[in-house]
Amino acid sequence: MVVHLVANQSTRVRFPLPAPQFFVLLQGKTMELNASHSFHQILPWLAFSKPADQWLESMRGQTIEAQLESRRITKVCVEEMISTAAIGIGKDNNLTVYFNYYGTSLQDCIESLGHEIGHTFHYDLSKTPPIKITDDDRDEKLLYIIEDFCNLFSLKWIMVNDKKEIERCCKKAGVRFHNNS
């Protein structure tokens, strides 16, 4: 599987991205990668690249629920909102992943759950509630890089998991599926 990294393309313009190919903003470079590249190789300057690599490796064979718990995602639920999915601080001061109430395709749902888990890596999970460790509110470029990180994270996460298990977890959360592709 090949992932193309192309610089200077806005994440907002190209979101949602078709799997398995998508683009990553990367400081003026175009790189061709295969899925065996680690985040540390791709984004060595990003503080959470190595933790993400290590986490993905350590989660092989774990249940989806155990994986969510290890990222302090204590709840996955359905909410009235327009995006496919989002993550936020829940009432219990842990993280909650939200899916939209009107449904999504199975593939979008699976990719979105991986994407939202990716977002947990720019939070300090040792704090209650978890605290964001990136300055993406002030640095728009970093915001795009984080989105690309999460898209790539999702692809890698799906590769170390059984899609049927992810589907089961999403169904359990009450997500409705359109056109079961």
The residues that touch Zn ion, with contacts defined as CB under 5 A, are 147, 150
Contact 152, 42 (CB under 8 A): yes
What minimum distance in Å lies between the beta carbon of 4 and Zn ion? 20
Residue 150 burial (C-beta neighbours within 10 Å; 0-12, 13-18, 19+):
buried
What minimum distance in Å lies between the beta carbon of 61 and Zn ion? 27
**Closer to Zn ion at the Cβ: 64 or 150?**
150
List all residues 6 or more positions away from 121 whose beta carbon is below 8 Å from its beta carbon: 48, 51, 52, 55, 149, 153
What minimum distance in Å lies between the beta carbon of 68 and Zn ion? 16
**Closer to Zn ion at the Cβ: 111 or 147?**
147
**Closer to Zn ion at the Cβ: 55 or 118?**
118
